[in-house]
């Protein structure tokens, strides 16, 4: 990601962070509507999960200038998600729900450039998480 992309992602997330639980709940509502099978993956209340999601995104965005550290974080996250039963096809549903949530929450501030930056970021995150979990999935 370019420094401009990183700045766009961070500044747009800062706007969401002010309404973090509301935004994350909107994300899960969209995810469960568009991919109902994902609902069964969540054993806890959604408000608690919403807080975890926003905390994880906060840490990941803080690490964008440390790709090595971010990759370690994402590899661990990918392994945990595999253990929860997340399937590769769920990543696409999550990405779509994330972009929809960003667009809905940010409105006019969700520019074409901001969408492109988030799309690239999520694509990289999902790829890293999936590649980290693939060897374990094969041996399972």
Tens digit of pLDDT per residue, the chain (140 long)?
999 999 999 999 999 878 999 999 999 999 999 999 999 998 878 888 899 999 999 999 999 999 999 999 999 999 999 888 899 999 999 999 999 999 999 999 999 999 999 999 999 999 999 987 555 444 44
Longest CA–CA span in the chain (Å) reads: 46
Print the domain residue range for 90: 3-139
Give the total number of structural domains in the chain.
Answer: 1
The domain that holds 129 is classified in CATH as: 1.10.490.10
Contact 25, 47 (CB under 8 A): yes
């Amino acid at each position: 990601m370019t420094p401009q992309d990183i700045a766009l992602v961070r500044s747009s997330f800062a706007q969401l962070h002010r309404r973090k639980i509301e935004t994350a709940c909107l994300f899960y509502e969209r995810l469960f509507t568009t991919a109902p099978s994902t609902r069964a993956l969540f054993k806890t209340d959604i408000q608690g999960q919403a807080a975890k999601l926003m905390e994880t995104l906060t840490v990941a965005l803080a690490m964008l200038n440390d790709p090595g550290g971010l990759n370690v974080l994402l590899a661990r996250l990918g392994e945990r998600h595999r253990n929860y039963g997340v399937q590769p096809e769920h990543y696409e549903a999550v990405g779509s729900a994330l972009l929809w949530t960003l667009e809905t929450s940010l409105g006019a501030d969700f520019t074409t450039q901001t969408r492109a930056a988030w799309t690239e970021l999520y694509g990289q995150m999902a790829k890293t998480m999936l590649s980290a979990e693939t060897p374990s999935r094969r041996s399972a």
